[in-house]
Chain A
Amino acid sequence: MDKTMSLSEAISTHLNDGDTVALEGFGHLVPVAAAHEIIRQQFSNLTLARMSCDVIVDQLLGANCLTGLIAAFVANSSAGSLYELRRRIEHSDPEPLWFDEYSHGGMVARYQAGASKLPFQPIASYRGSDLAQKNPRIRSVDDPFGGPPIYVVPALNPDLTVIHAQRADSAGNVQAWGMLGIQTEAAFAGRRLIVTVEEIVDESIIRSDPNRTIVPSHVVDAVVEVPRGAHPHAVQGYYDRDDAFSRDWSALARDAEAVKSWLQTNIHDTADHEEFLALLGADHFDHLGIRDAYSTPVNYGGRG
């Protein structure tokens, strides 16, 4: 079954105003192009689930797409602050934001419960942490096996999950390598799933290395080829992280008007990700090249 479509069609088909949408990727394989398309299509009242935040959180906030955030780390990766986010949390400026806060372990547990269709997941951390006081959704239950009460976090089942990967076949068997984050769990936890990839490849390539597949096709609703779809984050074996871009964002986003202007020029006034990349300049990716480092092929064998 061919699930390939354009990014514009995938987002408009599978996302609705008011949804909870998970955009996952831990500093690597982040679905940035998909976030930009959500802005372009002017969705609103979304709650974003994103374990560890980055520029796309500020951009979605600046575009007034979000009224809620579920996260565990709210800085711009290592590049500084996210000022759109800080304005909302510190001053409710321009609007308050519903912020459902956990630790990374708490977010991992939430996605695991969601993927497993369990109501909640126990977790060994949080004893004595103010986070368990601040967030009423971090609760405790009696241990039926006689231990002390244990903290639990609720299942997270996003209406839509979007992940980015190196490659998939047209049916949506997704292969990724390098740091895998929480993408498999977020994919299974989502009610719908869009996968953007650097390349759509022939099924035979996927089937030559099945252990590389992180999400099987039965979970996937749409497959979209978006080269450089994770910029300014890295994609292992394709391009390096663009730290200057992330640092520049933190400087720019101190000014709310500058954010609006950036969004207008770079997102609203571009038709798609290709046009967005063109604005960066034809030689922008020259300094984001990587040096090849191939693995040794493994022998999957076969009955002799």
Chain B
Amino acid sequence: MTAGTPEHADTKSIGEDITSSELLAIHSARALAGRRVVFAGHGLPTLATSLAQRTVAPEIEIVYESGVTGARPPDLPRTISDSVLVPGAASVIPMTHLFNYVLQGQRIDVGFLGAAQVDRYGSLNSTLIGEDWEHPDSRLPGSGGAIEAMAGAAEIFLVMRRHTPRTFVEELDFVTSPSPHRSAQSDVGVMPAGAGVTHVITDLGIMTRFAQDEELTLTAVHPGVDPAEVVRQTGWNLHVVPDIETTQPPTAEELALLRETLDPSRVYLR
């Protein structure tokens, strides 16, 4: 610590060698502290859930869309349908059971997802970018099971690799997985069972919301990030809590687990 406050010195040393994806995985894992039944989506949620199992949530029961529950993979699953998830798992159920009884049956505490775009109430787009639904500028993967995770899980956590006005938008190009706020505006179909998106972890900070008509609010920024910058990088008029916190930097233990044990070939830590 040669200059500035100790906090400033820490921030600087962290910023030099921690990648954005490591930061996202670590804060995503921490958000799962004490959670029990977690549906892990593809990508960073898979890595974050595995990290949480080894740190803040040893009792976690990880559920994958492929039908695997209680996974304790000895090797890093490269996808949610990696056969390495099966040996040592508590169960492998058919996808009919997974979708009907586990997701639609409201057995999931937290669904952990990613998306291409999110709006202020936590509706998600993973379908397309562009104005014309029939001929979009970019066709994205689509729902997969995201619609059912949003509809059935008690809460959704969202991890977004890049916090920009193009990803945090006033209006989605396509509402794939609707927030409860959005669902309430329709009079057809069953209302979502849970609260929708309650936590969003980005490369700039953390946002939360809890009630149906509550907007995502910035509650924490990562060390060295100015809250005003997060507001500029958000496509709607983002509310910031007055007593905003700074996230605690990753620990040496978390970094070692990620880099040496969980993802040494950097499948997700790209």
Contact = CB atoms under 8 A, between A and B. Distances in A.
B28 interface: no
A59 B228 CA distance: 48
Contact of A181 (B86, B95, B133, B188): B95
B96 A185 contact: yes
Contact of B83 (A106, A148, A240): A240
B182 interface: yes
B173 to A, nearest CB: 9
B54 interface: no
A276 interface: no
A130 to B, nearest CB: 4
Given A125-B148, A130-B175, A241-B78, A182 B186 contact: no
A182 B94 CA distance: 7
Contact of B142 (A90, A101, A112, A182): A101
Nearest to B174: A130
Contacts of B182: 128
A128 B145 CA distance: 16
Contacts of B192: 127
Interface string B137-162: 11111111111101110000000000
Interface in A259-304: 290, 293
Nearest to A183: B94
B142 A149 contact: no
B66 A179 contact: yes
B147 A124 contact: no
A280 to B, nearest CB: 20
Interface stretch (A69-77, A167-175, A190-198): A69-77
B141 A27 contact: no
Interface stretch (B7-15, B97-105, B197-205, B251-259): B97-105
B137 A90 contact: yes
Contacts of A10: none
A243 B133 CA distance: 31
Contacts of A251: none
Contacts of A105: 99, 103-104, 145, 147-148
A131 B127 contact: yes
A241 B43 CA distance: 17
A75 B141 contact: yes
Contact of A128 (B88, B103, B138, B185): B185
Given A180-B95, A184-B94, A126 B189 contact: yes
A134 interface: yes
B136 A26 contact: no
Nearest to A79: B79
Contacts of B82: 27, 234, 241
B70 interface: no
A244 B140 CA distance: 21
B259 to A, nearest CB: 20
B261 interface: no
Given A128-B185, A130-B127, A241-B83, A108 B96 contact: yes
Contacts of B177: 129
A90 B139 contact: yes
A150 B94 contact: no
B42 interface: yes
B84 to A, nearest CB: 8
A104 interface: yes
B20 to A, nearest CB: 19
B147 A89 contact: no
B95 A104 contact: yes
A22 B244 CA distance: 52
Contacts of B142: 71-75, 101, 103
A28 interface: yes
B81 interface: yes
Given A72-B142, A75-B141, A78-B79, A126 B147 contact: yes
Nearest to B147: A103
Contacts of B189: 124-128, 132, 140, 148-151
A70 to B, nearest CB: 12
Given A105-B145, A125-B151, A293-B87, A180 B78 contact: no
Given A131-B147, A179-B68, A150 B190 contact: yes
Given A130-B174, A131-B176, A180-B94, A125 B147 contact: yes
Nearest to A87: B139
5 contacts: A28-B83, A105-B145, A125-B151, A130-B176, A179-B68
Interface of B: 42-43, 65-68, 78-83, 85-88, 92-96, 99-100, 103-104, 123, 127, 133, 135-148, 150-152, 174-179, 182-193
Among all A-B residue pairs, the 9 with the closest Cβ atoms: A27-B81, A127-B189, A128-B178, A128-B183, A75-B141, A105-B148, A103-B143, A125-B151, A103-B147
Given A105-B103, A128-B185, 5 more contacts: A126-B189, A150-B188, A178-B86, A180-B93, A185-B94
